[in-house]
Amino acid sequence: VDGNYCLTCGSDKTLKLWNPHKGTALRTYQGHGYEVLDAAGSFDNSQLCSCGADKTVALWDVATGQVIRKYRGHAGKVNCVQFNEEATIIVSGSIDSTVRCWDCRSRRPDPVQVLDEAKDGVSSVKVSDHEILSGSVDGRVRRYDLRAGQLFSDYIGSPITSVCFSKDGQCVLAASLDSTLRLLDKETGELLGEYTGHRSTAYRLDCVLSEQDTHVGSASEDGRVYFWDLVEGSLALSLAVGRGVVQSLSFHPTLPCLLAATEGQLQLWREDTFQPEGDTA
């Protein structure tokens, strides 16, 4: 959450915690039966959540490396997990077309809420202080306003691989399998921008916004990462990451610094002037 550490997960059934600025692996977390598809950290870095092809969602203690709790309830592999802001709830999205909310503090095995409006697998979820954003293979971006008890749905048409909120909370970015990113006004659903040039036709690839909402970024199946100017829509930068598909992207919360994952390898990209906080080197 503070950008000092990062989490990776993979087909070796493990999670790994790293100091990306030094390139050191700090801990390995074992407990999933199949490949791990997503992971997230809590606001205070004390807990992790993860999900995978074993249909489970796991809550971990960072310090001990132990699984605190496992949540079973999804009928298929679980693609994505997020904590809410207080890390009291884990929100997960699955190929079974549901989003489920799990209470981290109770021993109840059942989810506290099941959102089953999607007509196909849920590929991506994000959580704000009072909203759940989900993207589905059915081509819709859904936003659940938990305070108002309302559902807003925007039809993109092409299967959605990734969704995210802008930092200012006004917009939603959605990536889909027609090799297009779309920026939508959160309240009205109006299309504010389209970004193309990357390749996304078969894989679940991440999209991101830069730390100041100035640029829109996407992973790509051609081994590159693309960044566009948010307002202009013009291509600002393309990074050659590798030869294979770049699947995962994560932008530093406050600084111009990017993590990109491809073919079992994680890369850290940053501006020459970059200084990690608290780093005197």
In tens, the pLDDT along 147-190 reads: 999 999 999 999 999 999 999 999 999 999 999 999 999 999 99
Q: pLDDT tens digits for 237-250? A: 999 999 999 999 99
Range of the domain at 71: 1-155
Q: Are residues 201 and 84 in the same domain?
A: no
Ramachandran category for residue 147: left, alpha or beta (phi over 0 → left; psi -120 to 50 → alpha): alpha
Q: Are residues 42 and 136 in the same domain?
A: yes
pLDDT value at 204 more than 70: yes
Q: pLDDT tens digits for 61-115? A: 999 999 999 999 999 999 999 999 999 999 999 999 999 999 999 888 899 999 9
Q: Are residues 149 and 257 in the same domain?
A: no
pLDDT at 275: 73
pLDDT at 1: 87
pLDDT at 45: 94
Q: Are residues 115 and 6 in the same domain?
A: yes
Of 108, 140, 155, the position where a domain reaches its end is 155
pLDDT value at 280 more than 50: no
pLDDT at 279: 54
Q: Are residues 103 and 197 in the same domain?
A: no
Q: Are residues 32 and 131 in the same domain?
A: yes
Nearest to 271 by CA among 210, 219, 218, 220: 210
Q: What percent of the chain has pLDDT over 70?
A: 98
Q: Are residues 214 and 146 in the same domain?
A: no
pLDDT value at 211 more than 60: yes
CATH of the domain at 195: 2.130.10.10
pLDDT at 277: 67
Q: Are residues 135 and 45 in the same domain?
A: yes
Of 107, 127, 155, the position where a domain reaches its end is 155
pLDDT value at 281 more than 50: no
Q: Are residues 110 and 189 in the same domain?
A: no
pLDDT value at 15 more than 60: yes
Of 121, 155, 189, the position where a domain reaches its end is 155
Looking at the structure of the chain, the number of domains it has is 2
Q: Are residues 53 and 81 in the same domain?
A: yes
Q: Are residues 125 and 170 in the same domain?
A: no
pTM for the model stands at: 0.94
Mapped to the 3 state alphabet, what secondary structure does the chain carry? CCCCCEEEECCCCEEEEEECCCCEEEEEEECCCCCEEEEEECCCCCEEEEEECCCEEEEEECCCCCEEEEEECCCCCEEEEEECCCCCEEEEEECCCCEEEEECCCCCCCCCEEECCCCCCEEEEEECCCEEEEEECCCEEEEEECCCCEEEEEECCCCEEEEEECCCCCEEEEEECCCEEEEEECCCCCEEEEEECCCCCCCCCCEEECCCCCEEEEECCCCEEEEEECCCCCEEEEEECCCCCEEEEEECCCCCEEEEEECCEEEEEECCCCCCCCCCC
Q: What percent of the chain has pLDDT over 90?
A: 91
Q: Are residues 180 and 127 in the same domain?
A: no
Taking all residues of the chain, what is their mean pLDDT, rounded to a whole number?
95
